Structure 1
Amino acid sequence: MEHHHPTPVGAPDDPSGVLDHVAATSDLIVPLANGEPTAVLDAIESAIADDPARLGPVRAHQMHALHDRPYLAGELGDRMRHVSYFLSHVTRPHFASGGLDLVPAHFSEVFDLMRGRTDDPLVVAAATPPDRHGYFSLGVSADYTASFIGRARFFLEVTDAMPRTFGRNQVHVSQVVGWCRSDRPLVEVPPAAPGPTDRAIAALVAERIPDGATIQTGIGAIPNAIMADLADHRDLGIHTELLSDGVVDLLESGVVNGVRKRLNRTKTVGTFALGTDRLHRFLHENTAIELHAVRYVNDPRIIANEDDFVSINATLSVDLLGQCASETIAGRYHSSSGGQNDFARGAMYSDGGQGFVVLHSTTSGGATRIVPQLAPGDVATTPKNTVDKVVTEHGVAELRGRSIRERTRALIAIADPAHRDELERDARRIGYL
């Protein structure tokens, strides 16, 4: 039997083919992290720099950029400007210096916000080569980008380093206005090595996670330590925005199999992946993993359908009411909301759900992270009424349904012992005790 292999037609030889599709007043949608098509953005950026009258003004909408670029610093002025929905280590200094704009947003709502802010946007994204059926995969991304499939023009940058993933992130050749090839590697983000404090926090969380639970966790030393601590659990499921190296061990060992999930049973679900080459190799053509659009993955109404849902998120400081400031440090913007509030609410509505907020009790300089009141300018990412359990290396403060006095006592009890007396004095002065 002869198999027909459709070949995509009209693939431009180089990324400058995108310039024909960047309209006079165009909005670009760029996936986050490794979904960014670097050669395509290079071509757009250099075309605007070489001939400012040729294109623009262009606005590029993106979360969490990994590649530094002149336009991020505002060097192209209004001809090309970055609109961020979550700051990274790359974009943070440029935001502070006024080079780019930041839109506060829950990750679950970023697609709707982008759609509302743009008119006929062009999606530029990295992708796998097309398969024999003519489908590209967006690889490590679904995020807000996948929701634009069939709703916007796409120009893809194909790279062999991109793992082919499944779910809701396939684009057919008939749905793209053009594509090119590049040989760029993916940026690797090695997992942070947990220290003793991280492991102490992880043990407190892991022992409260029941077998059969569905888990959401982020990136960083504490989440990595928690995943390592789940090795003796059974029948766990994963429904998370971020797939990181920590999930590989749990899937390979069979601890995560998704058999008790109500949605996408037996599948591990995420909306984007960020990690090392090991993770990328694990994701490639792995049918146990599905990437879905963030407007589905992070929707609290979807998350609430899973019983025993466990949300685990890090924060930077917590006040005695339980407000969690996760996106600012000393009143200066550091990141943005991301999906923390999405999952905290989803876990709250889940039957048997638990929401954990994790943090070291002190900064590296010894200052307390459990504070009487948030610093001026600090932003409450997860509000006091939604917060469930706050965990430091000194214990777990259960806040849900607790009075202000009970909350205050519970939080002081998990603060660093050196700061407890002063916190108690401050709490009395404010009127919480």
Structure 2
Amino acid sequence: MFVKSEYQKKLVHVKDVLSMINSGDHVVSGLAGAEPKAILSELHTAADSLRDVSIITCLPMGNYEFFGNPQYKDSFLMEGWFYSGFMRKLHANKNITFIPNHLHFASTKRLDYKVPRIYMGNCSPVDAHGYVSLGLSAVYEKDMIEKADLVILEVNPNVPRTFGDTLLHYSKVDYFVEADYQMPELPVTEPNEKDKLIGKHIAELIEDGSTIQLGIGGIPNAVAQALKTKKNLGIHTEMFTDGMVDLVECGAVNNSMKTIHPEKMIAAFALGSKKLYDFINDNPSVEIKKGTYVNDPYVIGQNHKMVSINTSIEVDLTGQCCSESIGVRQISGTGGQADTAIGAQLSEDGKSFIALYSTAMIKDKTTGEIIEKSKIVPMLTPGAIVSLSRNDVDYVVTEYGAVSLRGTSVRERVKRLISIAHPKFREELQKEADALMIW
């Protein structure tokens, strides 16, 4: 039951929230569009009275002063499960560090290490029954809310009202801050010709009635476009995207043949355009559930014909995938890549795809010239993070085709991966494989 007077007693201002933070605190912020923008924007103003406060985030959307300005590094340390572009650029400030994780274990393993004193996020307005919705994410938010000493939410009328594990009774919240800002939007990346070729290769291997997981970017968007002629697709995904809305609207996705949660689209979070947010708002066919559930490989594997599609930065000739770093430089995160790739292969007739361009343009460290480099390599760049082990790789796809590595020896993998490398690098890759005795 919603008692307005009780809700009003919980209302505070941002400055009140800042006074609640103590030196040495661990504070967890909501993921991406679920972050408390008003509080984070003012956090730096409390720096003089604070030391060694850890702010734990995942894909923060704002370039906030508390971590963007190195003068506050003694007051705040940002610990992130997944780097955003801002974090990647500002890592050199020495007040940002990465938390290695598989998404379905992100909250549970962090809670094993340290229970946060404060959780901060945003939510929709309280409804007539006393419930708010956490809106765009339940990856770890509900888990942290259940354990934190203090729960502080920014009530924002622009937060979509979603269903699933995002629903929370207002009595579970210690303090509310009323705010009004737009949800962060990601521009839809139009696929280029390479993206379209990769999308076509993948779509040809996806059967009608499959349940799919997609990410964002040119390649996933190209896959979504190529799937528009399919029938009876379903959605069970870490991230709900604009491409999925398009597949629903064209009739390719109807969720009728899903093994678990039939007629429902299941995701751990959503991020995209206003069109996406309008689609999921008050839509009972979309459920945002905890990442511990959505990304559990054994849950994913219960979907018949589960298809996982992820991208990578480079793949070595044995199948190791580096998808989150350039050498030692962290640029994103493992996220749910291993979760979904392994889960899809546990599925009856499931398939997992790792997609990447065959080459990239990089600056030569010696000459400073921009050169073309193969992204299928004999060995990963020194210091590269293995996001998906070679034991867990299924299909690898470039604009030159798709090859299956499932059950193959290293000798066969070398042959198949070279066949989808850029033609100008194939002979060189063959020679290096021989010289290194990779096979």
Q: Is the 8 A contact 1:15 1:157 kept in 2?
A: no
Aligned ranges 1:314-333 → 2 under 5 Å: 314-333=311-330
SS for the counterpart of 1:260 is coil
Which residue identity does 1:352 align to in structure 2? D
My pick for the range that moved more, 78-87 or 374-383, is 78-87
Alignment of 1:8-157 (within 5 A): 8-19=7-18, 21-46=20-45, 48-49=46-47, 52-53=48-49, 55-73=50-68, 74-152=70-148, 153-157=150-154
Residues in 1 aligned to 2:321 and 2:391: alpha-carbon distance in whole angstroms:
11
Instruction: Give the match for residue 246 of structure 2.
Output: 249
Gaps of 5+ in 2: 362-370
Contact 1:17 1:178 in 2 (8 A): no
Secondary structure (helix, strand or coil) at the match of 1:124 reads strand
Q: Secondary structure at the match of 2:412?
A: helix
Matched, 1:383 2:394: no
Q: Residue 185 of structure 2 aligns to which amino acid in structure 1?
A: E
SS of the residue corresponding to residue 101 of structure 1 reads strand
**CA distance in 1: counterparts of 2:113 and 2:181, whole angstroms:** 30
1:216: which partner in 2?
A: 213
Offset of 1:347 from its aligned partner?
A: 1.1
Aligned counterpart in structure 2 of residue 173 of structure 1, from 151, 170, 183: 170
CA distance in 1, matches of 2:194, 2:42: 46
Q: CA deviation at 1:138?
A: 0.8
2:398 paired with 1:398: no
Deviates further, 28-37 or 386-395? 28-37
Contact 1:6 1:133 in 2 (8 A): no
TM-score, length of structure 1 as denominator length: 0.95
Give the Cα separation in 1 of the matches to 2:105 and 2:194.
34
**Are residue 361 (structure 1) and residue 351 (structure 2) matched?**
no
CA root-mean-square deviation = 1.6
Structure 1 unmatched ranges of 5 or more:
none
Conservation of the 8 A alpha-carbon contact between 2:300 and 2:347: yes
For 2:196 and 2:394, the matched residues in 1 are separated by 21
What is the deviation of 1:186?
1.5
Residue aligning to 1:420: 426
Distance change (3 Å), C-alpha of 1:69 and 1:336: same
1:333-348 equivalences under 5 Å are 333-348=330-345
Tell me how far apart the structure 2 counterparts of residues 417 and 13 of structure 1 sit (CA, whole Å).
62
Q: Deviations over 1:154-201 (max 9, x none)?
A: 110011111111111112110000101112112210111101110000
Q: 1 CA distance for matches of 2:268 and 2:411?
A: 39
What's the TM-score, normalizing by structure 2? 0.93
Which amino acid in structure 2 is aligned with residue 69 of structure 1?
A: Y
- Give distance in 1, aligned partners of 2:227 and 2:381: 35
The Cα of 1:81 is off from its aligned counterpart by 1.5
Q: In the aligned structure 1, how far is the partner of 2:218 from the partner of 2:293?
A: 27
Instruction: Report whether the alignment pairs 1:309 with 2:315.
Output: no
Distance in 1 between the 2:9 and 2:251 partners? 44
Change (3 A) 1:149 1:70: closer
Letter in 2 for 1:394: Y
The range that moved more, 216-225 or 105-114, is: 105-114
| Larger CA deviation: 251-260 vs 136-145 | 251-260
- Mapped to 2, the partners of 1:277 and 1:171 lie a distance apart of 23
Pairing 1:195–2:180 present:
no
Q: Does the 8 A contact of 2:198 with 2:397 survive in 1? A: yes
Q: Is contact 2:31-2:57 (8 Å) kept?
A: yes
What percent identity do the matched residue pairs reach?
36
Contact 1:15–1:181 (CA<8 Å) still a contact in 2? Answer: no
